[in-house]
Amino acid sequence: MYSGRIHGYYDAATIAAVRAFQSANGISPSGIVDTVTFYHIGLNNLVTAPRPLGIAWPPQVPSVVTCCSPLVSQIPSLETFGVAARLTNQDIGTVAMDVTGNALPAPSSFGPQYGQYAFVLTTPFNTFPALMVPLSPDDWRGRLFSAVGSLPLGTVTIYPTPAAPSTGPYEPAVLSGTLVDCQ
């Protein structure tokens, strides 16, 4: 029925496979995995399907706006790069910002007091610091999240910072970029 890559999205190929399964099992081919289809899927598997949970399928896909801003090296001798991605779930009003710095030197290369990286979102009215975690020896990632409301636009800058505090000191600036509004 379905021979594509399993990716977790209920896309056109998945809908076509569900319709083909429904037709082959005498079910009206809607492309929606309703309780009847769910039941028949269980009949055709070695492992029985659980009882339907009484939820609509496919689930509502949130309306998400993603806006990416490049982060460029602030130190001419470094060939580092990064991105700040601002993600807004328009259905429930949450905003997250993921920041990634790539090809970063070890934080300690800026001095023995530095043990990790942090980024700071600077706006005209406030600063929002966040610690970053290593993805690999030279790639670091951090996240800011707003449960309700938004994260304001501003400038995102990545700095080395002492191992424990996320309050600084923040210097020198390694990567920086200005967030843009994509809405």
Which 3-state string (H, E, C) describes the chain?
Answer: CCCCCCCCCCCHHHHHHHHHHHHHCCCCCCCCCCHHHHHHHHHCCCCCCCCCCCCCCCCCCCCEEEEEEEEEECCCCCCCEEEEEEEEECCCCEEEEEEEEECCCCHHHHCCCCCEEEEEEECCCCEEEEECEEEECCEEEEEEEECCCCCCCCEEEEEEECCCCCCCCCCCCCEEEECCCCC
Predicted confidence (pLDDT) per residue in 87-126, tens digit: 888 777 788 889 999 999 999 999 998 888 999 999 888 8
pLDDT of residue 49: 46
Query: Low-confidence residues of the chain, pLDDT below 50?
Result: 48-49
Cα 25 off chain centre by = 38
Domain ranges of the chain: 1-61, 64-178
pLDDT of residue 119: 92
pLDDT of residue 60: 60
Cα 70 off chain centre by = 16
pLDDT of residue 159: 93
pLDDT of residue 18: 87
Q: Which fold has domain 64-178?
A: Immunoglobulin-like (2.60.40)
